[in-house]
Amino acid sequence: QSVLTQPPSASGTPGQRVTISCSGSSSNIGSNTVNWYQQLPGTAPKLLIYSNNQRPSGVPDRFSGSKSGTSASLAISGLQSEDEADYYCATWDDSLNGWVFGGGTKLTVL
């Protein structure tokens, strides 16, 4: 059971906008910034969003992040087939004194 809760799956058609949620608590998302990682099949995770809504260099602006209270969201607009991957949220947990990840959401592009 992951500390951060994500839906196990999400889907959309090319061009659509999809969102993936990440729910936590006051000790993690409620008091720290959230990062998102994209893991393409058979590869290592890649940093997609940091500090709730910042994109590293090279990440398309189709990807955006937001946070409100103890929840965060990742939005992908103009969905493309190459976006099919697993997405993980992560943050620091003040109670556990460690980094915690969501269980991951498998995004399927129909």
Footprint of other proteins (CB under 8 A) = 2, 33, 35, 37, 43-47, 50-51, 54, 56, 88, 90, 96-104
Kindly tell me which of 46 and 62 has the beta carbon lying closer to other proteins: 46
Task: Give kind and range of the element (H or E) at residue 67.
Answer: strand 63-68
Give min distance, CB of 72 to other proteins, in A: 13
Spatial separation of the C-alpha atoms in residues 57 and 71, rounded to whole Å: 25
Give the residue with the Cβ less far from other proteins, 13 or 27. 27
Min. distance of Cβ 47 from other proteins in angstroms?
5
Q: Which is nearer to other proteins, 8 or 13 (CB)?
A: 8
Strands 9-12, 105-109: pairing kind: parallel
Contact between 65 and 53 under an 8 Å Cβ cutoff? The reply is: yes
Q: Which residues contact 61 (CB under 8 A, 6 or more apart)?
A: 55
d(CA 86, CA 75): 14
Nearer to other proteins, 53 or 70 (CB): 53
